[in-house]
Amino acid sequence: MGEHVGAELELEVSNVAHGGVFVTRHEGRVVFVADTLPGERVRARVVDDAHDRFWRADTIAVLTASPDRQEHVWAEAAVDRAPGERAGGAEFGHIRPGRQRELKRQVLEENLRRMAGVDRPVPVAALPGPEDGTGWRTRVRLHADEDGRVGPYAARSHRVVEVADLPLATEGIRAVAPLGHRLPGAQGVQLIHPSTGGARLLPAGEDAGEAITERVGEREFRLDAGGFWQVHVAAAATLSDAVSRAVDGQLFDPAAANLDLYGGVGLLAAAVGDRFGPSTRITSVESSPRATEHAHENLADWVGATAVTARVDRYLSRLAGSASKAERARLQRGTVVLDPPRSGAGKDVVRSLAALGPAQLIYVACDPVALARDLGALVRNGYEVTSLEGFDLFPNTHHVEAVAALVRT
């Protein structure tokens, strides 16, 4: 612990930074402060001074409030609680919803401009649901400490805090959440609320071999209860529509070697297939064998659709190194949809995509920095960004989803 940790500072907050914190300066040094917003004057306590270039601090009192500050949507995460007792997962809950989306837009645009050289507006759209951004989470993980107490982790820590409510969760999850109970010996619980079948509770890290059904429009998707699915109740439909719209129909070739990378149980491959018809050829690539099994079933309506269990980087590397001339031609006419994890696709995947040279890419991202890094590399390798949309899939948090379309120049 450094000599400044614990010191209290009065700070004028100037800007938003990636990661749900805000920027100010103290005696020339950058300080990243949580639980505030631009235009506020706060008293903050230093919690990390290990870096030469910046410190980190927690707001402990608001001296001059922004007009965009609101009563926190989650009482147990509010600034009037001690920082170590504030529940994590709602770090923007003290900011009115419209301002939250404006801040997310700013973070998206700044990172794209700085890292990718892409200078264009990226509006962030609200999803259907309550205006205050509550009631949307269909997946929640609660942890249990060594005494069996159940709750979320405190913000920026792995310490369990007990809470009386989960306002971001659906009503179904709130009804089955074991808040106030003890689970001795357990790691925690997963709470899921699929669009069919009602909310349920699973041991943390397990799915008990149970399959569930999620409905998106008129289509149903089977997946393991503990498997990945979009968390916001309206996210799957929103992203399916966004990806379908982002594909340039004049460049799309149903007979080409189209790919859905990090394909999960086939949600976005199905969105492409629904737009372009049952003869659409598309291969979903996913590292989880169970998800691939479900994708086979979920994509059965398209005679040219298939699902492959493979790591995306290795799959593309093999294609780039061994594809025949005819296969390369089909790949170059192809459309690639990719929805990587928060860390992004990364340099190996981008390098292989650039070598294969598909006609268009549809990149779905949940991290602005990873998106900007990968788009920058793709632009340097002969692609042009033709459209960008942002979506507020995670209200009352700093997270934001984006869908980018790129074409080969």
- Which pLDDT does position 246 carry in this prediction? 98
The answer for 291, left when phi > 0, alpha when psi is -120 to 50, beta otherwise, is alpha
Question: Do 374 and 348 contact (CB within 8 A), yes or no?
Answer: no
Residue 339 marked as a ligand binder: yes
Residue 48 marked as a ligand binder: no
Reported as a pLDDT band with limits 50, 70 and 90, residue 51 is confident
The model's pTM is 0.96
What would the pLDDT profile of 101-154 be if each residue is shown by its tens digit? Answer: 999 999 999 999 999 999 999 999 999 999 999 999 999 999 999 999 999 999
Taken in order of first residue, the domains within the chain and their CATH numbers are 8-69 (2.40.50.140), 103-130+233-408 (3.40.50.150), 137-231 (no CATH)
Is 355's pLDDT higher than 90? yes
Is 1's pLDDT higher than 70? no
- Which pLDDT does position 206 carry in this prediction? 61
What would the pLDDT profile of 290-301 be if each residue is shown by its tens digit? Answer: 999 999 999 999
Q: Distance (Å, rounded) from C-alpha 399 to C-alpha 290?
A: 27
Is 208's pLDDT higher than 80? no
What would the pLDDT profile of 314-342 be if each residue is shown by its tens digit? Answer: 999 999 988 899 999 999 999 999 999 99
Is 213's pLDDT higher than 90? yes
CB atoms within 10 A of CB 263: 29
Is 207's pLDDT higher than 80? no
- Which pLDDT does position 154 carry in this prediction? 96
* H-helix or E-strand spanning residue 107: helix 97-111
Query: For 337, how many CA atoms within 13 A lie in the half-sphere containing its CB?
Result: 29
Give helix 346-356 / helix 325-332 axis angle, nearest 10°. Answer: 100
Active-site positions read 366
Percent of the chain predicted with pLDDT > 90: 93
Mean pLDDT of the chain: 96
Question: Do 305 and 269 contact (CB within 8 A), yes or no?
Answer: yes
Is 370's pLDDT higher than 60? yes
What would the pLDDT profile of 167-177 be if each residue is shown by its tens digit? Answer: 999 999 999 99
Residue 10 marked as a ligand binder: no
- Which pLDDT does position 201 carry in this prediction? 94
Residue 383 marked as a ligand binder: no
